[in-house]
Chains A and B, each alone.
Chain A
């Protein structure tokens, strides 16, 4: 494994290895000395062309706890806004002598394109509406810690599927792990081509949340991406909540202790009610701490053993 660009890059064995290492990395968070020397002398650059707080800081902490030097470059106020091309920015940064680039970009396929230009490890931290593999890994890792083996478990993913890279990575990963997946969205936010993809990948798509929730073993709520909502995808936020929000009323449709996930940041009262976000079964904060462990695992496996390419 040289890069992590898409869930497609991973075999089931790779995923199990990553999760096993993540479990050990997780223990580091409980120690008083949160530092492992494994990546001492390595340099990881977080190259973020899109806003992000939690993913970027999660990668930053993950790198630092492994003793790598992590540096954040955000495109705002950088040379990219002065007109430099993506390729020049990437080559310039890489020329400083880095070992890994963690890239977030608004264009689908950006991370993969970058991996063709440079000789260092590239990790996709979200590319447009394509993929966000580490988010999917941390979601599945969180669920696995709660539910055990995910094979045959029914995971329901709800929200703005059209714009969601999280959903795309999650469906791929959960199917690889043998989970049953149902995705739920209003017709306007259901991606075109979902029929063909769902048939090929073996998952279900629905417009009716109330019908799906009772059989769920886990629920993943997706953020309504207000910044991408210029197209009139739903009439009012209120209407979205009534049809597709995880409201207090809908909590009673779930089996007891069904884990509730949300990749954050949450729009409380829009896609998720406070009663759901703060429920005992809410995994939102577990996801954040798992995120650091999973990213440590990814950085470790991409960087630790790499002497010859």
Chain B
């Protein structure tokens, strides 16, 4: 899929190689923190957190010899800004059959911004059970938190202005891997 003209705006901050390296490092960090892959459950937040979670799981599998459980956790129905937008349909939530109880759950998302998505994800997770530990892995942390939330594993810290837009493109959804940042006054950033 060739990039559309809109995707040429701004500047690239991570290319495919950078993204691959960041995910490899995050995978190792997760293993180190968890002392192995036991009881590990990676939950991607739709849309782009899901393929990221799968990629991290694959890398962990390469190191540990077995691929940890992967799922998805949609937070649409838990958002605090539901009233401000036209109703959006929820996306897939897939929790592996063994559930979340007692697991080390790593939430995976593409961009960490206000922290509100993660707040919603923690609420959603609580409705599925009681994980032993919850951690957060993000590809990009662009700052501007509005809640006391931080990531445990960060691919890249990307200082940004609120008026800027951070665009994450992944092979699975967009045909190529890239992170760009662009001026888009008035437009809301992701996450």
Contacts and interface: CB of A to CB of B under 8 A. Distances in A.
Contacts of A20: 89
A32 B129 contact: yes
Interface of B: 74, 76-78, 82-93, 123, 126-129
Given A31-B127, A36-B77, A24 B83 contact: no
Nearest to A38: B77
Contacts of A167: none
Contacts of B123: 37
Contacts of B88: 305
Contacts of A38: 76-78, 82
Contacts of B129: 32
Identify whether the interface residues of A are mostly helix, strand, loop, or mixed: loop
Contacts of A300: 77, 87
A23 to B, nearest CB: 9
30 contacts: A24-B74, A24-B89, A24-B90, A24-B91, A25-B90, A27-B93, A32-B129, A33-B126, A33-B127, A33-B128, A35-B127, A36-B78, A37-B78, A38-B76, A38-B77, A38-B78, A66-B77, A300-B77, A300-B87, A304-B82, A304-B83, A305-B82, A305-B83, A305-B86, A305-B87, A305-B88, A306-B83, A306-B87, A307-B83, A307-B84
A196 to B, nearest CB: 37
Interface in A35-72: 35-38, 66
Given A21-B89, A21-B90, A38-B82, 7 more contacts: A17-B89, A24-B89, A27-B93, A38-B77, A304-B82, A306-B87, A307-B84
A36 B77 CA distance: 7
Interface string A176-188: 0000000000000
The 6 A-B pairs of least Cβ separation, nearest first, read: A305-B87, A38-B77, A304-B87, A33-B127, A24-B90, A305-B86
A153 interface: no
A114 to B, nearest CB: 22
Contacts of A306: 83, 87
A175 interface: no
A24 B93 contact: yes
A301 interface: yes
A253 B144 CA distance: 66
B73 to A, nearest CB: 12
A121 to B, nearest CB: 11
B127 A301 contact: no
A301 B82 CA distance: 11
Interface string A268-309: 000000000000000000000000000000001111111100
Contacts of B87: 300-306
A301 B85 CA distance: 11
A255 B127 CA distance: 42
Contact of A24 (B92, B127, B128): B92
B83 A37 contact: no
Contacts of A31: 127-128
A265 B77 CA distance: 33
A303 B76 CA distance: 14
Nearest to B91: A24
Contacts of A303: 87
B107 to A, nearest CB: 18
A300 B84 CA distance: 14
A38 B92 CA distance: 16
Contacts of A35: 127
Contacts of A24: 74, 89-93
Contacts of B90: 21, 24-25
B97 to A, nearest CB: 11
Contacts of B89: 17, 20-21, 24, 301
Nearest to B80: A37
A301 B90 CA distance: 10
A307 B135 CA distance: 34
A32 B101 CA distance: 12
A24 B87 CA distance: 14
Contacts of A37: 77-78, 123
A36 B84 CA distance: 18
A120 B86 CA distance: 16
Contacts of A301: 87, 89
Nearest to B128: A31
